[in-house]
């Protein structure tokens, strides 16, 4: 369902089209080339290269401060990178001549602390981007929004305000809000780490369903069990570099890099 809508959006897009005969299907949804980023003297990203293909789910793991959030914020152009290139569907979005607002509309983001807009109802939160960025009229946008809320199982809360929701419900609304514009790519930054253990499940179930529907996802997470189940690729970040990457079985069971082993033994011990 989601993918049909994505196709529609793709044809309606105004961004630069590739040369005729060029097959969009074969290029990655997201390509990171040699990404560098520093905050003052603190060098956070030291040359990240990563390809994310259509329908792929990539889980970023790594110690606190290893740069997971910074990488996601850079992909979404909330941070300006210091070197390297970011390609979204083949378009170089690190080019300063590109319209950053249009790029952000093609990427859905969910943050750790939901960041719902407290002065808007749940439905208004979900439909805001449709109405103001895609310029869809209110009725159509609300119909779409209600469909989305039904999918995440909280259509009865459409007229509530965010402070009347539980943490799990708020986070699911945040996901719905990010999805309603049919983004090419969904970035999830530790979306369960602010939740009570029993609420984590309901949010992760939703992510698993998104994967089944073919959404392309990059997520930072501390939920190793979940990463192992859902990820197509697990990427271990250490001091601003990709220290190890591969399918979950490989990274979790037979890691080659010493740092990965140490990190995993630390977090897995801590979990059990």
Q: Does 177 bind ligand ATP (CB under 6 A)?
A: no
| CB closest to Mg ion, residue no | 69
Task: List, in order, residues 6 or more apart from 62 with CB less than 8 Å away.
Answer: 68, 236, 237, 238, 263
Of these, 59, 67, 114, 136, which contacts ligand ATP (CB under 6 A)? 67
Q: Are 81 and 94 in contact (CB under 8 A)?
A: yes
Q: Is 69 in the site for Mg ion (CB under 5 A)?
A: yes
SS3 (DSSP) at 27 = coil
Smallest CA-to-CA distance from 76 within 167, 186, 151, 157 is with 186
CB 50, CB 235: distance < 8 Å:
yes
- Per the CB < 8 A criterion, the answer to whether 200 and 223 are in contact is yes
Q: Identify which of residues 43 and 134 has a Cβ nearer to other proteins in the complex.
A: 134
Which lies closer to ligand ATP via its Cβ, residue 145 or residue 240? Answer: 240
Sign of CA dihedral 43, 49, 52, 57: negative
Contacts by residues 196-202 (CB-CB < 8 Å, ≥ 24 positions apart): 196/167, 196/168, 199/166, 199/167, 199/168, 199/171, 200/168, 202/168, 202/172
Q: By CB under 6 A, name the one of 31, 66, 76, 130 that touches ligand ATP.
A: 66
Query: Does residue 42 bind ligand ATP (CB under 6 A)?
Result: yes
Closest CB to Mg ion among residues 136, 224: 224
The answer to the question of residue 10 lying near other proteins (CB under 8 A) is: no
Would you say 23 or 269 has its CB closer to ligand ATP?
269
Q: Which of residues 74-133 bind ligand ATP (CB under 6 A)?
A: none
Binder of other proteins out of 111, 226, 252, 263 (CB under 8 A)? 111
- What's the closest the beta carbon of residue 249 comes to Mg ion, in angstroms? 25
**Binding positions for Mg ion, rule: CB under 5 A:** 69
**Binding positions for other proteins, rule: CB under 8 A:** 73, 76, 78, 101-102, 104-109, 111, 113, 115-119, 128-129, 132-133, 163, 177-178, 181
């Amino acid at each position: 369902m989601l993918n049909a809508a994505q196709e529609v959006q793709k044809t309606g897009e105004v961004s630069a089209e590739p040369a005729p005969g060029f097959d969009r299907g074969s290029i990655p949804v997201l390509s990171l080339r040699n990404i560098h980023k520093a905050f003052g003297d603190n060098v956070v990203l030291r040359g990240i290269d990563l390809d994310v293909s259509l329908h792929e789910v990539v889980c970023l793991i790594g110690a606190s401060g290893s740069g997971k959030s910074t990488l996601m914020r850079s992909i979404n152009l909330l941070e300006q990178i210091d070197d390297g290139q970011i390609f979204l569907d083949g378009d170089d979005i690190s080019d300063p001549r590109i319209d950053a607002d249009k790029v952000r509309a093609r990427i859905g983001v969910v943050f750790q602390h939901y960041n719902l807009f407290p002065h808007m109802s749940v439905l208004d939160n979900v439909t805001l981007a449709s109405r103001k960025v895609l310029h869809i009229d209110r009725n159509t946008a609300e119909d779409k929004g209600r469909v989305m809320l039904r999918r995440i199982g909280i259509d009865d809360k459409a007229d509530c305000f965010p402070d009347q929701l539980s943490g799990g419900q708020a986070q699911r609304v945040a996901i719905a809000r990010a999805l309603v514009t049919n983004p090419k790519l969904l970035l999830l930054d530790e979306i369960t780490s602010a939740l009570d253990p029993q609420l984590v499940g309901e949010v992760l179930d939703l992510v698993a369903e998104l994967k089944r529907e073919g959404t392309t996802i990059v997520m930072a997470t501390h939920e190793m069990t979940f990463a192992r189940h859902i990820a197509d690729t697990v990427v271990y970040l250490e001091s601003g570099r990709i220290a190890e990457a591969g399918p979950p079985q490989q990274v979790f069971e037979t890691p080659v890099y010493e740092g990965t082993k140490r990190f995993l033994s630390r977090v897995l011990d801590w979990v059990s």
